[in-house]
Amino acid sequence: MSEQHNMKVIARIHNDFPTKFGIPHQSNRLSALKATIVFEPEYRVAEAFRGLEDYSYIWLIWQFSEAVRENWSPTVRPPRLGGNTRMGVFATRSPFRPNHLGLSSVCLEKIEYHPEFGPVLHISGADLMNGTPIYDIKPYLPYVDSHPKAKGGFTDHIEEHILKVEFPEALLEKIPKPQREALLEVLANDPRPRYQKNPERVYGIAYGQKDIHFQVKDDTLLVCDVTEQKIL
What's the mean per-residue pLDDT of the chain?
90
Please report the pLDDT score of residue 85 as a whole number: 87
CA-nearest of 205, 204, 189, 193 to 79 is 193
Q: Which residue has the higher pLDDT, 19 or 138?
A: 138
- For the chain, count helices (H), then strands (E): 3, 12
DSSP, collapsed to helix, strand or coil, labels residue 175 as: coil
Percent of the chain at pLDDT above 90? Answer: 66
Give the least confident one: 66-75, 91-100, 140-149: 66-75
Please report the pLDDT score of residue 10 as a whole number: 98
Give the least confident one: 96-100, 114-118, 126-130, 221-225: 96-100
Mean pLDDT of 95-101: 89
Q: Whole-prediction pTM value?
A: 0.89
Exposure on the CB side of residue 95, measured as CA atoms within 13 A: 17
Please report the pLDDT score of residue 9 as a whole number: 96
Per-residue burial over 71-100, b = 16 or more CB atoms within 10 Å of its CB, e = otherwise: eeeeebbbebbeeeeeeebeebbbbbbeeb
Mean pLDDT of 191-208: 86
- Residues with Cβ within 8 Å of residue 84, at least 6 apart in sequence: 77, 195
Beta carbons of 27 and 127 less than 8 angstroms apart = yes
Burial class (CB in 10 A: 0-12, 13-18, 19+), 59: middle
Beta carbons of 62 and 15 less than 8 angstroms apart = no
